[in-house]
Structure 1
Amino acid sequence: MTRDTRTALLEAAERIFSGKGYAAVGINEVLASVGVPKGSFYHYFASKDAFGEAVMERYFEHYLADMDRMMSAEGQDWATRLMTYWASWRDTQSLDDCQGRCLAVKLGAEVADLSEPMRLALKAGTTGIVDRLEQALTGGAGDGSLPAQDNPRATAQALYELWLGASVIAKIHRSPGSMDGATALTRQILRLT
């Protein structure tokens, strides 16, 4: 029961945080959504910040596992894998009138100044994403599906920042146009036709 209750709390918080943000959500709202008494919360988490940190760590654990599955697709070259990832990003960030469910997009700026542990969890998660993008760029250069990059790490970082920014603009404008622009620029940077 301990692990199930903890997991239920983390899953509920991820869902609620992705819709409302971090500061706007009280612990009682999360507890009520899964029917857990307040006293039980502190059995699992020392504070709301510790809870937020655990939510971010769990979110990135699943995100990176999904990314790993995409990037290890058999029978596809690295360029196809990478563009499948970007297409998936666009699709998930275009949900609900461009109110996508990426916690890095939703919470990044909000919690970076509020909670050092949450900032560090975001940093670790986004670094993991850039690591995988760099691996894809290097793999693509190796299989000939992508051009060799002078600095694949810098290119991976720039592409991630491009897409993160495009997601924020999509939320502001309630339109996926910025992500369409990110797709076109990504294809140009990677010299894909």
Structure 2
Amino acid sequence: MEHQNDTRSRILTTGRRLTAQQGYTGVGLSTLLKEAGIPKGSFYHYFASKEAYGCALLSEFMTEYSHRLNASLAHPDMNARSRLLTYFEGWREKQLSPHLEDRCLVVKLSAEVADLSENMSNILQKGVSDIVAHLTKTIEQGQNEGTIASIENPQTLAEMIYHMWLGASLVASISHSAAALNSAMDATKVLVPAP
């Protein structure tokens, strides 16, 4: 059983790297299996279809991302506003990383899989909803502790900021420039003011 888990994990790890570089549809199964060092016939032992593999890839990424998000937004030595701004600073750094696999798969795959797979789209949507919920909670904590000024609707603000960062990440990828992400960081500081 452990060997099976290792093989499945190797397929997903290799797939994540290749998907970050080439997109979901750009990665053929033969390339994936060759890169992972897995015999061609083995793929369907672990995944019923390429879509099932895509769902597993996204689910694994969202679980890992959720753990990192929790650690970032619950840092015990920082106030809520600092935690929020540090999270987005980390996002900016990762999206500017020369290593494509460091970048967010939500940003990379949102447009690509939206019309391709309802199941994959649902995984992304749930992940986005969870992220927005965490951001909302952090804004509310900041208001309660007095590090973030009063905001009428924290959830609407969290959604707006998250959507702004998704857009800025796409523009940064297209332009190969940090300008959009730097602007998003500046705007976030204004939108989440200290009292």
Q: What is the TM-score when the length of structure 2 is the normalising length?
A: 0.95
SS at match of 1:24: coil
1: CA distance, partners of 2:102 / 2:67: 19
The structural deviation recorded for 1:147 is 1.6
Give the % identical residues: 36
**Counterpart contact for 1:98–1:174, Cα < 8 Å:** no
Matching residue of 1:5: 7
Change (3 A) 1:52 1:173: same
The structural deviation recorded for 1:162 is 0.4
Matching residue of 2:90: 88
Once the two structures are superposed, residues 103-132 of structure 1 have per-residue CA deviations (whole angstroms, 9 ceiling, x without a partner) of 111111011101111101111111111111
Match of 2:109 among 96, 107, 110: 107
C-alpha RMSD over aligned residues? 1.6
What amino acid is aligned across from residue 170 of structure 2 in structure 1? V
Once the two structures are superposed, residues 40-99 of structure 1 have per-residue CA deviations (whole angstroms, 9 ceiling, x without a partner) of 110110100110011000001001100101111112100010011000000000112989
Change (3 A) 1:168 1:160: same
Match of 2:154 among 145, 152, 158: 152
2: CA distance, partners of 1:100 / 1:41: 25
1: CA distance, partners of 2:34 / 2:100: 27
2: CA distance, partners of 1:34 / 1:19: 15
What amino acid is aligned across from residue 103 of structure 2 in structure 1? R
Structure 1 unmatched ranges of 5 or more: none
2: CA distance, partners of 1:30 / 1:192: 48
Q: Choose 5-14 or 90-99, whichever is displaced more.
A: 90-99
Matching residue of 2:169: 167
Once the two structures are superposed, residues 125-184 of structure 1 have per-residue CA deviations (whole angstroms, 9 ceiling, x without a partner) of 111111110111011111111123211111110000000000000011100100110011
**Counterpart contact for 2:17–2:101, Cα < 8 Å:** no
Matching residue of 1:73: 75
Alignment of 1:5-24 (within 5 A): 5-24=7-26
2: CA distance, partners of 1:52 / 1:170: 25
Matched, 1:135 2:137: yes
SS at match of 1:96: coil
